[in-house]
Structure 1
Amino acid sequence: MTPTQAFQEITSTHKGTFFQRMAQAITQWSGSSWAFGLALATVLVWAATGPLFHYSETWQLVINTGTTIITFLMVFLIQRAQNKDSLVLHLKLNELIAATKGASNRLINAQDFTEEEIAMLHEFYCLLAEKAKQDNDLGQTHTVEEAEENHAEKLQKHRA
């Protein structure tokens, strides 16, 4: 099955589970002006009722418990949204790498590399950046391998 066929199958048959739809709706709503307004109104009502309840421990406990529960649940929704956004970004970058002639396919799914592999690639790209600084043509780009070959050719020409 090609990626295009897989995408078509997913989008045509998969509308998401109830939890996915609910989490998406809550995430979108909680980032809205209405949600902020409701939170602000809740705090203002709570503060205004302070004299009525003589600023009791129970009065304080109500807001502390409510905000703690909401914060606890929102942390998971935020992390879920970040994970989804991160995965989508990786998929888009993978598509660009796969579709770009001359791009190194070794970087597809780079998010799954170990920290050591990422550090090694970072060193390669630092080297590539240094070699690019030596080029007079700012528009020219290279893969790591092309940069190594170009640099070796330049060194041979300068030595000759």
Structure 2
Amino acid sequence: MSKINGYAVFAKKTSRICGRPFVFATAVAIICFWLLSGPLFGFSDTWQLVINTGTTIITFLMVFLIQNTQNRDTEAIQLKLDELIRATQGAHNALLDLEELEQESLQIFKQKYLALGQAARMQLSEGMVDTGTPETK
């Protein structure tokens, strides 16, 4: 379908591995080891710098890996939702790829659906049903 992006594969695998309990436990063990080594190094500036530098580097790199993975996952979910809208009889195709619209346009759609929700709740309070596919106005 498309060529494999090496960075995307690496990011996804790394993100999955780093999300496992074993990796968290390893990180906690490293912190505990660092804390316990404090008296050995006299709680020196270098001792503190080691953990600060290490965690900063790891955090900096993980931000990019996780963001890449989340962006791809979000895009895949949006495409799946778009396909559901496209394939559903009576669905509003204008809702396809809403994530590409400006905030003002999204607010217009949101107001329409808020009005539909209010109308449905009003129908329920009057003993009517709230099912169906009413048109947005």
Superposition TM-score, scaled by structure 2 size: 0.90
CA RMSD, aligned part only? 1.3
1:70 aligns with 2:62: no
Aligned pair partner of 1:106 in 94, 99, 115: 94
Contact kept, 8 Å, 1:94 with 1:109, in 2: the verdict is yes
TM-score of the superposition, structure 1-length normalised?
0.78
Q: Which range moved further: 81-90 or 95-104?
A: 81-90
* Structure 1 contact 46–63 (Cα < 8 Å) conserved: yes
Do residues 137 (structure 1) and 129 (structure 2) align? yes
Contact 1:103 1:143 in 2 (8 A): no
d(CA) in 2 for partners of 1:116, 1:141: 25
Residue 38 of structure 1: CA displacement? Answer: 1.2
AA in 2 matched with 1:95 = E
Q: Which has the larger radius of gyration?
A: 1
Contact 2:17 2:23 in 1 (8 A): yes
Q: 2:110 aligns with which of 105, 109, 122?
A: 122
- The gaps in structure 2 that reach 5 residues or longer are none
Shift of 1:49: 0.8
Offset at residue 41 of structure 1 (A): 1.1
**Could you give the per-residue CA deviations for residues 14-46 of structure 1, whole angstroms, max 9, x where no partner exists?**
4x2222221111100000011101101111111
Shift of 1:48: 1.1
Count of aligned pairs between the two proteins:
133
Whether 1:56 aligns to 2:44 is yes
**Range with greater deviation from structure 2 (135-144 or 87-96):** 135-144
Letter in 1 for 2:16: Q
- Higher RCO (C-alpha 8 Å, min separation 6): 2
Q: State the partner residue of 1:18.
A: 6
**Candidates 26, 33, 38, aligned match of 1:45:** 33
